[in-house]
Amino acid sequence: MPARFQCKPLVAPEASESQAQLDAQPSCRLLAQKPGGRFTWALGDGYTLKERRYEPGCEVEVANISFIMGGFAGRLDTPQVPEVELSWRDGDKFFIVQRQVEGESLEDALPTLGPDDIARIGYQVGQYLLHLKIFISPVMAKRDGRPVNNFHLLKPLPDSSSGSYSVGTSDSDLASMLGLSIADRLDKPTFDAFMAKMPSGQPFTFSHSDVHEGNIMVKDGNFLGLVD
């Protein structure tokens, strides 16, 4: 016996399929992929999700942001900081959800900017980096107390036989660590003479170690904040 009430579509099949495709547009999209299994995703228009392999100490990024927000609290001239909403470890992954900083990266905006815009943004970024230097420490270390290893200067060593980084307290400590990666390439008198010319690294101040066009956020020809 046929059903008494047959099911009839409310819209034509073509329209239904078209609407389904619109509804299926993802609100999560990949913004950046970096070596080492690091990804940054946009979550809608207001948040970003950072995903990376978990390594002991990677939580320091959250501590860094909290430190900056606390240090600049109440200042009206402070550029935006990507505030952390959530962070957690899930197995061998670590995730951070942050509020998005307005605008676009300087890298994306460059084609639309003139020389005056670039000069103004450069000045504003420089002033912000100078602001960070008000945070002084008696030692050169990460916020969680671990030794610093900066990709540009204190690169991971090829093997442990070359030595190891430590928490620095003096210019001689800094020079010794900077020299670890080249000590085996020079004779000792040349190495000592070279390292003796190193300028002072003090005072040790809080720094953003990856300032480039992709991490500088701008809008209407002005600097808004640093990310990552």
* 48-73 average pLDDT score: 87
Q: How far is CA 69 from CA 7, 24, 81, 188, in A?
A: 58, 37, 7, 45
Residues of the chain with CATH 3.30.200.20: 26-99
Q: Is the pLDDT of residue 2 over 90?
A: no
User: Considering only 20-29, 48-57, 217-226, which range has the smallest mean pLDDT?
Assistant: 20-29
Ramachandran region, residue 76 (left: φ > 0; alpha: ψ -120 to 50; beta: rest): alpha
* 126-151 average pLDDT score: 88
pLDDT at 122: 95
Contacts of 179 (CB under 8 A, 6+ apart): 191, 194, 195
Structure tokens at 15: 């329209």
pLDDT at 10: 47
The pLDDT > 70 percentage for the chain reads 84
The CATH architecture of the domain made up of 26-99 is 2-Layer Sandwich (3.30)
pLDDT digits (tens, 9 = 90+) for 192-221: 898 888 899 899 998 888 888 988 999 999
pLDDT at 25: 60
Contacts of 29 (CB under 8 A, 6+ apart): 41, 42
Q: Is the pTM of this model over 0.85?
A: no
Select from 158, 149, 207, 206 the least CA-distant residue to 178: 149
pLDDT at 50: 93
pLDDT at 134: 87
